[in-house]
Structure 1
């Protein structure tokens, strides 16, 4: 799969009901690199978690941000912010990956498939959010909801593959899609969004540039713009003054621009968004493995002839900028770190399963119960592995686990999960229980298992309850260690096993995650209960 796709914002031209300004005039200042002093500053990355292929929109006074999730379920998370800097989880556009049995780990696996770069838009005429994305190069799906929290329902399935699509709700309420790799096309959808009315190629990328993809589609000040990425080091924009089908002219936005994360890549594949007072921002991502692809924010000005210019600091994407001037938020957003006691009866949207879960084998009721769902010695085949993004640059996950209902052959614990993985957890064999650190879980480039892991350290435990801890240093320029420890009282922790070196290749696309798992190697029937999960930073 070529480099995935990025954010898209909605045009500045929406109705008063959305709080956006129709036909907002663009600033006429050109690439002035000097920014005004301000008391308040924000630091990049604005969020050090893995949220790639960003699409960003504003509806009224609220910003929404959609991202890729590949094989994780539910898919296409939506984040919410009131200031472009502080974000919280709001929901998911794709409730379940019902695109074939491989997404259920049923005879096949969907690793590095699923939800790639997709698009989020809001249509004020019917007060509805739209998500559009292609799956498996087979067809395109459209989901809608009147609230980002859901419920999200499938509106239609289109047999056309809109690769790396950007959805535009134009000022006349017409739905357009910009899409493609190298060859860029625009499609017009029917008024109800269920069928394609027209499609036309509008641009062919020059060989001197190479690949352009990751389309985001805008109507700004009467012009149509298609924002495109050159993976993984450039960003370009197409502009048409003659309507959505062009002709378009091309301009480079950035190329090989130093980013604000030490050891990380070039900011790219993002989207544009306008604040309530008319200021523009570009939210891009930086390749920062092993943690993944991390969002960074920069202000944008426009030239007098209608081209965007990223505002730089010392000829690079700034490590900090003056904070956006926005209305006071109605409340503080929910922190991305902290404690989850699994209160209530549903999972919070920060959690995503590795592939679709077997919903008969887990429950939330003021605590999370994981019943064994798969008999396997391979964690990559085990269903009902529940994942949480790692907070950078370093963070620690601590889990309180009741293992008293485990059965012989069961394995349960806390993993650092990717195509190269390690975990700490409980093994029950022959009636004996041990806490173990397991290393050497690996996949090849086709995402087939090449190693199911080996025990690197162990200790005896008893009493039915244990605290497991994993600490991850995901700074891309560091040695990338993951370390594991355990406690029998929740206070005194004992290190177990050697440091695990997290991989930093980009080909798996998703970054490392903390993962809670429980699988059988002999027979189903056992269970564990997670009473508490805490994500903390130094």
Structure 2
């Protein structure tokens, strides 16, 4: 059991299996390798081990793919119709994460992603895959869209603009990308699991075979993640939304054995679901972890971390606490970080020249209708009475379990018919903001903005409360409780000075069904109902927690 650093997972991982972790962790585990009641000091050069709490990040980042490059961990997630897509998070300890960039700078998949001739709600970036090929120092992202095509993007720096290098004529559904040496393989599928070998430049398919057919008593397996570890090939598969299974074979194309990793395992978030559909990753010291997501609606799907050890015959086993995924574990033993990660909450004054990666647009934006620098200027980009059809609506994930978004808004540039404000956005939505009519501006709280199950708008909203507006600057605030379960609410308030806030309208009950997949987001919007030409300036956005 050597602690010698090894290449990132999904490369050829030779050497130890990381069994040394079990001897350092003081809890029960569903593994013959769990041991010890006290944790020894970490090796020289590693950080002291405090406890971390699950979820490690209480924001909506689903369909997790996680890799390590040297001492740095990277995390990719689904974003569906939000643009830019496929965010990349970065961490040095698997616990504290920061935004680094996006793998898909624009949803370049058809006019509906620009809200032209249709809309792309719950389409776009589904479970996709991120990897790094060490021989060329390059990251690759691969994902399918609309069950028809797969796309490959690449970059040498995750913070730079990624480049599309290929569109492949096959939909690699819920794909997992493996570099076996330099040879790329993709595991993918739903129930019938296949493996494709791609050309070295990932621009065409070389070979494709079905390697596994899910037994009927299991039902559905999907969400593939592909690894080579100690000479064996592993395909991680989820049984949505309550199980995780593993395939293991001596070659990429099989034959594969199946083993259950977890099923109906109690999760670490009260009221939340079973951790599943994530990825395996090792630390530089050879310890292994599983980063999965937990269904936690109305907030979405949030990441939870647990240690993993390996059985004598080469299968991963989770470390459990009293028969459940632990609400806390000792932090991974890793080298000190080069700096503290950038916070996932806090203020943004939009200093420019571009938006920070914490922001994503609802569908592709019209770049001629907004500006960043000395605040965010939103010019109306759409004439509509439907928030769901308004372009240039800018979104930010809600921080759980409760958080508050506050916006400082300057509105003297609004024109008659304009609507601008701060929303909680999902398939059932509400907002506080400004309505400009007949040369006058009033403050309003609007709810009952709803979609049906096919994501068509069925209600554009009902005005529940109104208030007078003095001056051309005000502060809008929304406080949201996304603790998993029914009856959670968003509450709206406003201020003339940014200090004393007054409630407006009733509490808005958040929709907690899973079918929209994504959780609630805060959204900055400005759209016209009569004619384009108006603008507002967002001087500051602040996301705070209690």
Category of TM-score, reference length = shorter chain? over 0.9
**In structure 2, what is the equivalent of residue 168 of structure 1?**
178
- Tell me the CA shift for residue 125 of structure 1: 1.1
Preserved contact between residue 12 and residue 229 of structure 2 (Cα < 8 Å): no
Structure 1 distance, partners of 2:514, 2:339, is 37
Structure 2 residue 125 is matched with structure 1 residue 132: no
- Tell me the CA shift for residue 25 of structure 1: 1.6
Please, which of 7, 15, 18 is the counterpart of residue 24 of structure 1?
Answer: 15
Structure 1 distance, partners of 2:78, 2:335, is 29
**In structure 2, what is the equivalent of residue 14 of structure 1?**
7
Please, which of 184, 202, 210 is the counterpart of residue 193 of structure 1?
Answer: 202
Structure 2 residue 283 is matched with structure 1 residue 283: no
- Tell me the CA shift for residue 20 of structure 1: 8.3
Please, which of 94, 117, 120 is the counterpart of residue 127 of structure 2?
Answer: 117
Structure 2 residue 108 is matched with structure 1 residue 98: yes
Structure 1 distance, partners of 2:286, 2:36, is 16
Q: Superposed, which structure 2 residues align to 1:158-237 within 5 Å?
A: 158-170=168-180, 172-237=181-246
Structure 2 residue 504 is matched with structure 1 residue 511: no
Preserved contact between residue 49 and residue 389 of structure 1 (Cα < 8 Å): yes
Question: CA offsets, 1:67-110, max 9 Å, x none?
Answer: 00000000000000000000000000000001111001112000
Structure 2 residue 86 is matched with structure 1 residue 86: no
Structure 2 distance, partners of 1:31, 1:418, is 45
Structure 2 distance, partners of 1:450, 1:496, is 24
- Tell me the CA shift for residue 408 of structure 1: 0.7
Preserved contact between residue 435 and residue 442 of structure 2 (Cα < 8 Å): yes
- SS of the aligned residue for 1:360 comes to helix
- SS of the aligned residue for 1:176 comes to strand
Please, which of 150, 164, 177 is the counterpart of residue 154 of structure 1?
Answer: 164
Structure 2 distance, partners of 1:428, 1:191, is 57
- SS of the aligned residue for 1:483 comes to strand
Preserved contact between residue 24 and residue 278 of structure 1 (Cα < 8 Å): no
Q: Superposed, which structure 2 residues align to 1:384-399 within 5 Å?
A: 384-399=392-407
- SS of the aligned residue for 1:380 comes to helix
Preserved contact between residue 11 and residue 227 of structure 2 (Cα < 8 Å): no
Q: Flag the 1:108–1:37 CA change in 2: closer, same or farther, 3 A.
A: farther
Structure 2 residue 56 is matched with structure 1 residue 46: yes
Preserved contact between residue 32 and residue 311 of structure 1 (Cα < 8 Å): no
- SS of the aligned residue for 1:102 comes to helix
Gaps of 5+ in 1: 1-11
Structure 2 residue 301 is matched with structure 1 residue 296: no
Question: CA offsets, 1:295-321, max 9 Å, x none?
Answer: 000000000000000100000000000
- SS of the aligned residue for 2:367 comes to coil
TM-score, normalised via structure 2 length: 0.94
Matched pairs, number: 523
Gaps of 5+ in 2: 23-30, 40-48
Structure 1 distance, partners of 2:245, 2:371, is 46
Question: CA offsets, 1:145-186, max 9 Å, x none?
Answer: 00111220011010011000000011x311000000000000
Please, which of 317, 329, 336 is the counterpart of residue 321 of structure 1?
Answer: 329
Preserved contact between residue 470 and residue 483 of structure 1 (Cα < 8 Å): yes
Q: Flag the 1:35–1:320 CA change in 2: closer, same or farther, 3 A.
A: farther
- SS of the aligned residue for 1:80 comes to strand
- SS of the aligned residue for 1:377 comes to coil
- SS of the aligned residue for 1:327 comes to coil
Please, which of 332, 341, 362 is the counterpart of residue 370 of structure 2?
Answer: 362
- Tell me the CA shift for residue 22 of structure 1: 4.0
Question: CA offsets, 1:367-391, max 9 Å, x none?
Answer: 0000000000000000000000000
Preserved contact between residue 438 and residue 457 of structure 1 (Cα < 8 Å): yes
TM-score, normalised via structure 1 length: 0.95
**In structure 2, what is the equivalent of residue 141 of structure 1?**
151
Q: CA RMSD in A?
A: 1.5
Preserved contact between residue 27 and residue 303 of structure 1 (Cα < 8 Å): no
- Tell me the CA shift for residue 365 of structure 1: 1.1
